[in-house]
Amino acid sequence: MSFSVAIVGATGRLGAVVAEVVEAMPEAELVASLSSKDPLERAFVADVVVDVTTPAVSSEIVLAAIAAGRRVLVGTSGWCEERIARLRTAVRERPGSGAVVIPNFSLGSVLGTAFSAIAARYFDSAEIVEAHHAGKVDSPSGTAVRTAELMAAQRGERGPFAAPHVDQRARGQEAGSVPIHSLRLAGVVARQDVIFGGVGETLTITHDTVSSSAYQSGIRTALLAAADARDEVVVGLGAVLGIDESLGLA
């Protein structure tokens, strides 16, 4: 299988890594590298359109690519359940299109989210602290929001997590009843700590990205999945790899 790729957001940090991966793949050809300000139609010459822009423009770019009948790989943060629902509708209305949405291209991050979902069944207190480089414009991160949503989905009859004083700004932004605290610091690539509190103990699940090279394998795998994605929306690197992020290993 061979396929062509266009990258929208190619001038950004992640866009540069995606370009390196595509150029190293014998089955893929990079035919367009665009910034978010370039005419989007230039991307539609490709079989697969990769969106690695910003949350403010990502939805418009992705839906336009779907309307053009393209397969799309979404690597931009901010794709909550509501946005994904609109994307599923768009794909249904445009046969032959498809999308793969990846909040984080790191295998370790996927496993950390899966482990956190398991722990969420047993602890009634949980908070997330996520840190990224100072250039990341959105907060909380898409990975943190997805982790919190999957944790909340495991609560069942136990109900929401206990999160006192959430009316105070210093308590973070809630997602799935989990307070999320975002750090933006020089010297950081990406880190996420999911902290659970129980009677007489705490549990911390940490994933630390020390180099953007951690994303390369996941990008390669996701590109191949996007090239095959027709009439479907796949969410999460775990789904591509056969890892159920909500339950652990499939």
Location of structure tokens 């996520």? 130
On whether the CB atoms of residues 219 and 7 are closer than 8 A, the answer is no
CA distance 34 to 29: 15
Range list of β-strands (E), 55-167: 71-74, 98-101, 125-132
CA distance 87 to 42: 21
Helix count and strand count (H, E) for the chain: 7, 13
Residue 69 falls in which region: left (phi positive, over 0), alpha (psi -120 to 50) or beta: left
CA distance 125 to 58: 33
Q: Which residues are catalytic?
A: 132, 136
